[in-house]
Structure 1
Amino acid sequence: MRKSILLLFFTAISIASFGQELPFKKVNLSDSVALADQMQQLAVLCDTQNLSELDLFKFQLIRGNYSDALVTVKKRIKETPIDQRQYLDIYMHYVEAKFSDNFKESFRKSYRKYLDNSNDTQVINLDKALVIRDPTDYYISNFKNTYNAIKSENISQSTAKNLVKKYFLSIVFSSTRAIFFEEIKQDHKRRYVVNDSIVIPMKDGAEVSIVLVQRKGNITKKISAILAFSIYTGTNEAAAMLSASKGYIGVIANTRGKRLSKSEIKPLEYENTDVYEVIDWISKQSWSNQKVAMFGGSYNGFTQWASMKHKVHPALKTIVPMVAIAPGIDYPMENNVLHNYSYSWNFYVTNNKFLDFKASNDFNRWNALKNTWYKTGVAFNKLDSLDGQVNKLWNTYMQHPSYDDYWKKMIPYKKEFAKINIPILTITGYYDDSQRGAMYYYNEHHKYAKNPNHYLLVGPYDHWTAQTKPEESLRNYKLDKVALINIEEDIIYQWFDYILNGKEKPSILKDKVNFQVMDTDTWMHKPSLSAMTNDTLTFHLSATKTDNFYALKSKANSSKIEMTVDFKDRENMNNTEYYPWPLEKDNINLKDGLIFKSEELNEDVIINGSFLGNLELSINKKDVDYSVILYQLTPEGKYFHLSYYIGRASYAKDKEHRNLLTPNEMTQVSFSNSKLISKKIKKGSRFVVIVNVNKNNNAQLNYGTGKDVNAESITDAEVPLKITFTGNSSISLPIWNFTKE
């Protein structure tokens, strides 16, 4: 073996020196020995001079250079924080086991010892990374698909390197998954008592399934319970264990119909009563001290607000809703525009008692569906006909395009917020898809309740990191160090200790509104949202044009800026860049929408809050779905995505009632709930505003006939949409002006 590797090594030097392609003759993927030999030869033949340390380790391992690989991975582990090395530790134990004649037993013993020496939080993080979000099947299929896609008998260095790295992930995880799954499971049994067979009845006869987690040593104590009420069955046990490890009792309750419940699965509809009844059940248990707190993100954030729809249970002492969706407000539609991502979500959560990952991850199916719908121009309410599978929940959504009683019954409505008198910590992010839901609850609570004890924490996070822990970069933007807080493990439990046990309030909550100012490495703390700003920059649209940009003017003017959108044209799309990914880029599509640019700023400012829009326009139709995107054009010429808004003009005045526009008549369309942001804007920057009509394969197409948008089709697109904006149209940016401090 060593001789053959040496010969291959010299061959590799020769091949790499001349930059030649590598020979590649396919083997049967079921022949693991032949495949391993082939990958080893490729790994030897690949030029590894410019590889990262981690990639070099992968090649050392596949080559069979286990001693070198062990040195490399241990060095990398030493340089990596313990909460970021779950994969690295697997790699190390894998290499060590390769020195043994009995790989499986050696890996099992070393991994068990590793778990024994890890604290509760470390093992919980292993569970989340390796079990709950098990990547193994993806790695296996990704390697196989890449391998099968190769048709040539010679491949480039880059193709070979890519294949070896994917093989590494495939072989490491496929050969260890069953072992670390079982060892993590057994380690949990050593630390916790888990009762996952509880089913409790609701007053209407339905059932809710409960999982109870207690830390051994606390079983006989009466302590506070931390409740997560979720539709995501099987994904919250680690969170309950974390609660137990922090000195509380962890309780998971699943939406009726899920897990062991025999009821029908109906997302969103019954949480307004079921959550309250679960809290009542908890308060009456022998292990309860009659104090219950709730936390969770997204759907689990919504359930906390739903629990207080009719009244606040006396045992409920606080909630921590993170990135909470608000049905009818930001999910499944945003400002009354129905997005199609919720179409697949319905199958994901209702196909079985747990979660249908196979359906959810069938990206070919969902991409084909939305592309076919867009290309053919059929009505939006025909999506499930195109899909070939009835989507009952989706069809229900389409019957309620306004914020009507169907949505209102799910969460507190108007004066129902007034009775909510418990402490609340709302957490969201500038790039959280559900930010508008989180802020809706926050604003409505402040609107109707007198002096609510309600805190807000918001920073440069997305839907995931705002409920867990941010990474160093978000969509290619490097976060300030002070933004790297551990929300999941530290902040929320500091809050629970503060409310339930009388300890110190989390130090980051210095006032009611706490937000991280991007590019300053600081947080700001204000008593209210309005106190975030001390000035406003207002720009008016104008027809003055230089190159591809219209000008943003400081004053209203007599300009008229026209735009035409042909909904019959299915070769092109509009508003394809409204979603912020990546956050910073070199260029934007200068042919998509009306693009306006300001003069350079002559001083530094901080944009703080949600930008406002007041558009004066006329259209030749009765309605239009429009968007406004706000960028910073940096002095270096980069476009940084700050915020955006998308909405339906006929609901601009009232989300509950549709008010159609009069064709060819000037009207005012205003909005105030764009995505909240806080970022320093350097002197010399410009603001770029893109005003657009929504026409793409990600959401409904509003053809403007005034009929039900879900029923409109390409047959309603004979006449192109013509829209005219006037110079009275304005965009107002809330800022913190340093000169006015």
Structure 2
Amino acid sequence: MKKSFLLLLLLVISISSYTQELPFKKVEISDSIALAGQMQHLAKLCDVKNMSELDLFKFQLIRGNYKEALVTFQKRIKKTPINQRQYLDIYLHYVEAKFSKDFKGAFKKSYRKYVKNSDDIQVINLDKALIIRDPTDYYVSNFKNTYQNIKSEKISQSTAKDLVKKYFLSTVFSSTRELYFDEIKQDHKHRYTINDSIVIPMKDGAEVSIVVVKRKVKSSNKKSAILVSSIYAGTNEVSAMLSASKGYIGVIANTRGKRLSKSEIKPLEYEHTDVYEVIDWISKQSWSNQKVAMFGGSYNGFAQWASMKHKVHPALKTIVPMVAIAPGIDYPMENNVLHNYSYSWNFYVTNNKFLDFGASNDFNRWNSLKNKWYKTGVAFNKLDSLDGQVNTLWNRYMAHPSYDDFWKKMIPYKQEFAKIDIPILTITGYYDDSQRGAMYYYNEHFKYAKNPNHYLLVGPYDHWTAQSKPEENLRNYKLDKAALINIEEDLLYQWFDYILKGKTKPSILKDKVNFQVMNTNTWMHKPTLSAMTNDTLQFYLSSDKQGDFYALKTKATNSEVSMSVDFKDRKSMTNTDYYPWPLEREQINVKDGLTFKSETLTEDVIINGSFLGSLELIINKKDVDYSVIVYQLTPDNKYFHLSYYIGRASYAKDREHRNLLTPNQKGQISFNNSKLISKKIEKGSKIVVVVNVNKNNNAQINYGTGKDVNTESIKDAKRPLQITFTGNSCISFPIWNSKMN
């Protein structure tokens, strides 16, 4: 009894200590000495029991206990691979420099030695983590905002700990940024010859700015060039350095108007001629062996395809487009639905000769703008009027809602794919925002070219990790070890060595289609996309309902399921959860849209490919923007986001021509280009499908009048949309059945 009472007393004391409020009186945040004193005092008051070694180190350092901090941190840093220590090494040199009276001098000296002793790849990764993705401004503003938002003179332990950790990051990076920036950049000059003052003329009189990077080694041999064509001026130098470190010449060509070019900046519109001319220029240089390869992600992936629109330059030997956007296909609209995320991107890339990070990171501006647009209900083409700044590119995009000649001139179209006969490696991810762009190129190439030498690699990656190195976790999902391949540093150059130097083909490319099967720790390899599947799992929508869920049936029924959406209502939104983040969650909003659930699967199933849909419906409007989201309801009742489709009904048959629906008459809309995925679905799982209408602040609102959606406004929301789906509506999942193999 006494023992139980004592344990209870200790528990109460522990809880009261944790929840104890600490005194807090603000100082002027610009008074660095007073602020440092306050944070030191606060750190001493915080309970550091049960902290991780890294957090304990932070508190010991802010307390001024540098010897203890160094001992703690040395234990922690030994557990981290060197290629994952870019931030941690800053902490190490910071605490070591604190023992010196000349902090800046000590930090520079030790960091310079550290950088000098690092290999090429390690220094390149330092640049990526600390310069290209410089976190300092975020850490500083994050601390300031947290500090200024505290209104009370007493704060909880949890608030105090959060504040101290944010102060640590703000202090360490703001006091060392200039120092490590300079050391990394100086080290680049020791390793590479960088010519960033080249400007070459185009045939139409425009200019393109070029950067050439060579490794400082004594060699008179001519080399192959690895070209990156990019609008992101100032961010691709490390890619060129990586190429130089791998035994090639690294070349960067920026979109006309960027960097040193005096031309007008027009994203997307001239790559189809300019990149070809850049390749021609490279092939004529004294250091060139007349072999050029290209790689890059997103916009840089698009530029590779654009270069081959009219013809393939003889010197271009291969391309590796990663997460490549396809203008008019998946950017700036997806299945003809224009998203507003591209609105801010236009300012980011055209405000100056390099990049306007201030505009891009002004999240308050962009969030306020889209919220104001949604609440006021003005037409989508008035977005820049609400913003108070003309967005020329945005207006140009809105003038082309279908896939017309404006978009077609940018990349190969139909038969233009037939002449593309070089080896190609396409890389994308199941959760890549540009996956449908990447797959558009892949599918069109195979449609029009005869047996193209074109490989596909796809796995559980997003827009960033599919062009770099996947991390262990993606949006709270732990990746299989088999998926953790170093795409940028290893696979990419294995491919280039294979094509340009005659070395062995990358071992992971065992067939034309190579994909990682999630939850199996294995890859599958097939000759074609269609060979990924040998069976189909098909479900029909039905009106049978249990709780919040309608039933998915294995056969068509005579039932009907209806939903209504009032476009005048701006207090709520629909289809806000279609985007897969996080990948796994405890609950979904079953009140948003029509939610259907299958019976329990009695055996394991591997879903391989893109799910298909054929929806039979009756609607009281001429058009609708709709979505279909697919989840796996796991045996332990968690929702795993598998895939989704979002599109405009009037373009379902043909993205080039709009075919309006007939109100109040039964019709059918079909789609077959949802996000591709491969995942093992364990027996005991259920399939959950959410069918919804898109009405939120992230994209156009299609009011269904049949007019140009960009000109529609809340004035067109005269009566709620009524939509009824019949029991003939089905969703089909391509699967791999090992029993049929």
TM-score class, shorter-chain normalisation, is over 0.9
Match for residue 383 of structure 1? 383
Q: CA deviation at 1:218?
A: 5.3
* Distance in 2 between residues matched to 1:73 and 1:227, nearest whole Å: 41
Contact 2:18 2:157 in 1 (8 A): no
Q: Quote the offset at 1:219 in angstroms.
A: 5.8
Q: 2 CA distance for matches of 1:221 and 1:391?
A: 48
Residue 738 of structure 1 and its aligned partner are, at CA, apart by: 2.2
Partner of 2:444: 444
User: Residue in 2 aligned with 1:6?
Assistant: none
Deviation at 1:15, TM superposition (A): 11
1:125 aligns with 2:157: no
Structure 2: how far apart are the matches of 1:581 and 1:445? 31
Q: Which residue of 1 aligns with 2:703?
A: 703
Q: Which residue of 2 aligns with 1:507?
A: 507
- Aligned partner of 1:7 in structure 2 is none
Matched position secondary structure for 2:251: strand
**Aligned CA distance change for structure 1 residues 197 and 554 (closer, same or farther; 3 Å):** same
**TM-aligned CA deviation for residue 221 of structure 1:** 2.5
State whether structure 2 residue 694 is matched by structure 1 residue 713.
no
Instruction: Tell me the residue number matched to 1:58.
Output: 58
CA distance in 1, matches of 2:218, 2:128: 24
Q: What's the CA shift string for 1:309-368, capped at 9, x where partnerless?
A: 000000000000000000000000000000000000000000000000000000000000
Q: 1:669 to 1:177 in 2, by over 3 A?
A: same
Match for 1:131: what amino acid?
A: I
8 Å contact from structure 1 (residues 213, 251) kept in 2: yes
Q: What is aligned with 1:534?
A: 534
Percent identity reads: 82
Q: 2:485 corresponds to which residue?
A: 485
Task: Output the amino acid matched with 1:656.
Answer: E
Is the CA contact (8 Å cut-off) linking 1:15 and 1:45 kept in structure 2? no
The aligned runs of 1:378-417 (5 Å cut-off) are 378-417=378-417
In 2, the alpha carbon distance for the partners of 1:335 and 1:694 equals: 13
CA distance in structure 1 between the partners assigned to 2:373 and 2:287 by the alignment: 54
- Between the aligned partners of 2:380 and 2:123, the Cα distance in structure 1 is 46
Aligned to 1:656: 656
> For residues 273 and 18 of structure 1, what CA distance do their matches in structure 2 show?
65
Residue type of the alignment partner of 2:45: L
Contact 1:619 1:724 in 2 (8 A): yes
1:493 and 1:393, CA in 2 relative to 1: closer, same or farther beyond 3 A? same
Partner of 1:315: 315
Q: Deviation at 1:128?
A: 0.6
Listed one character per residue, the Cα deviations across residues 454-504 of structure 1 (whole Å, up to 9, x for unaligned) are 000000000000000011000000000010100010000000000000001
Residue 593 of structure 1 aligns to which amino acid in structure 2? G
1:668 to partner: Cα distance: 1.1
Aligned to 2:597: 597
Structure 2 alignment gaps of length 5 or more:
1-12
> Which residue does 1:525 correspond to in 2?
525
Structure 1 residue 17 displacement after superposition:
3.4
**What is the identity, as a one-letter code, of the residue corresponding to 1:285?**
Q
2:541 and 2:366 map into 1 onto residues whose CA distance is: 38
Give distance in 2, aligned partners of 1:216 and 1:86: 25
Q: Give distance in 1, aligned partners of 2:345 and 2:666.
A: 39
SS in structure 1 at match of 2:293: strand
Q: Deviations over 1:233-282 (max 9, x none)?
A: 10000010000000000000000000000000000000000000000000
Is 1:723 aligned to 2:723, yes or no?
Answer: yes
Contact 1:594 1:691 in 2 (8 A): yes
- When the two structures are aligned, how many residues end up with a matched partner? 729
Residue identity matched to 1:240: A
In 1, Cα distance between equivalents of 2:27 and 2:274: 56
Q: Which amino acid aligns with 1:615?
A: L
> How do 1:617-696 residues align onto structure 2 when only pairs under 5 Å count?
617-696=617-696
In 1, Cα distance between the equivalents of 2:271 and 2:219? 29
Q: Secondary structure at the match of 2:724?
A: strand
Matches of 1:111 and 1:683, distance apart in 2: 54
Structure 2 partner of 1:261: 261
The one-letter amino acid of 2:138's match is: Y
Partner of residue 568, structure 2: 568
TM-score, normalising length: structure 2: 0.98
C-alpha RMSD of the superposition:
1.0
- 2:244 aligns to what? 244
Note if contact 1:24-1:154 (Cα within 8 Å) is conserved in structure 2.
Answer: yes
Q: Distance in 2 between matches of 1:287 and 1:386?
A: 52
Task: Tell me which residue corresponds to 2:186.
Answer: 186
Q: Which amino acid in the other structure matches residue 679 of structure 2? A: K
Q: Does 1:368 align with 2:381?
A: no
Letter in 1 for 2:526: K
Within 5 Å, give how 1:159-198 maps onto structure 2: 159-198=159-198
- Structure 1 segments of 4+ aligned residues over 2 angstroms from their partners: 13-19, 218-221
User: Which amino acid counterpart does residue 78 of structure 2 have in structure 1?
Assistant: K
Contact 2:18-2:47 within 8 A present in 1 as well: no
Q: How does 1:544-555 map to 2 (within 5 A)?
A: 544-555=544-555
Q: Secondary structure at the match of 2:592?
A: coil
Answer yes or no: is the 8 Å Cα contact 1:16–1:47 preserved in 2.
Answer: no
What is the CA deviation profile of residues 413-453 of structure 1, one whole-angstrom value per residue up to 9, with x for unaligned ones? 00000000000000000000000000000000000000000
Q: In the alignment, is the contact (CA less than 8 A) between 2:309 and 2:411 conserved in 1?
A: yes
Cross-structure match for 1:214: 214
**Corresponding position: 1:347 with 2:337:** no
Partner of 1:419: 419
Deviation at 1:718, TM superposition (A): 0.9
Q: Helix, strand or coil: the match of 1:105?
A: helix
Match of 2:9 in 1: none
Any conservation in 1 of the 2:587–2:638 contact (CA below 8 Å)? yes
State the partner residue of 1:9: none
The alignment status of 1:736 with 2:736, answered yes or no, reads: yes
- State the secondary structure of the residue aligned to 1:461: strand
Q: Deviations over 1:536-559 (max 9, x none)?
A: 001011011111111011111111
1:75 Cα offset (Å)? 1.7
SS at match of 1:190: helix
Q: Confirm or deny: 8 A CA contact 1:564 1:723 kept in the other structure.
A: yes
Aligned-pair CA distance for 1:89: 0.4
Q: Structure 1 residues 45-54 or 435-444, which shifts more?
A: 45-54
Deviates more, 1:47-56 or 1:263-272: 47-56
Equivalent residue letter for 1:580: P
What is the distance in 2 between the residues matched to 1:728 and 1:342? 37
Q: Secondary structure at the match of 1:264?
A: coil
8 Å CA contact 1:219–1:287 kept in 2: the answer is no
User: Are the counterparts in 2 of residues 279 and 292 from structure 1 also a CA contact under 8 Å?
Assistant: yes
SS at structure 2 position matched to 1:184: helix
Specify the code of the residue in structure 1 equivalent to 2:228.
A
Q: How many angstroms does 1:70 deviate by?
A: 1.1
Provide the C-alpha distance between the structure 2 equivalents of 1:197 and 1:219, rounded to a whole number of angstroms. 23
Alignment match, 1:77: 77
In structure 2, the partner of 1:359 is 359
Q: For residues 43 and 387 of structure 2, what CA distance do their matches in structure 1 show?
A: 43
Letter in 2 for 1:651: Y
Q: 1:272, 1:307 within 8 Å by CA — same for their partners in 2?
A: yes
Separation in structure 2 between the aligned mates of residue 18 and residue 609 of structure 1, nearest angstrom: 50
Separation (CA, whole Å) in 2 of partners of 1:294 and 1:15:
59
- Structure 2 CA distance, aligned partners of 1:192 and 1:18? 54
Q: Residue 587 of structure 1 aligns to a residue in which SS?
A: coil
Rounded Cα–Cα distance in structure 2 between residues aligned with 1:14 and 1:401: 62
Partner of 1:92: 92
Deviation at 1:42, TM superposition (A): 0.6
Amino acid at match of 1:504: T
Separation (CA, whole Å) in 1 of partners of 2:369 and 2:467: 31
Pair 241,16 (structure 1): closer, same or farther in 2 beyond 3 Å: farther
**What is the CA–CA distance in structure 2 between the aligned matches of 1:18 and 1:603, rounded to whole Å?**
48
Deviation at 1:55, TM superposition (A): 1.1
The Cα offsets for residues 606-638 of structure 1, whole Å up to 9 and x where unpaired, read as 000000000011100100000000000001000
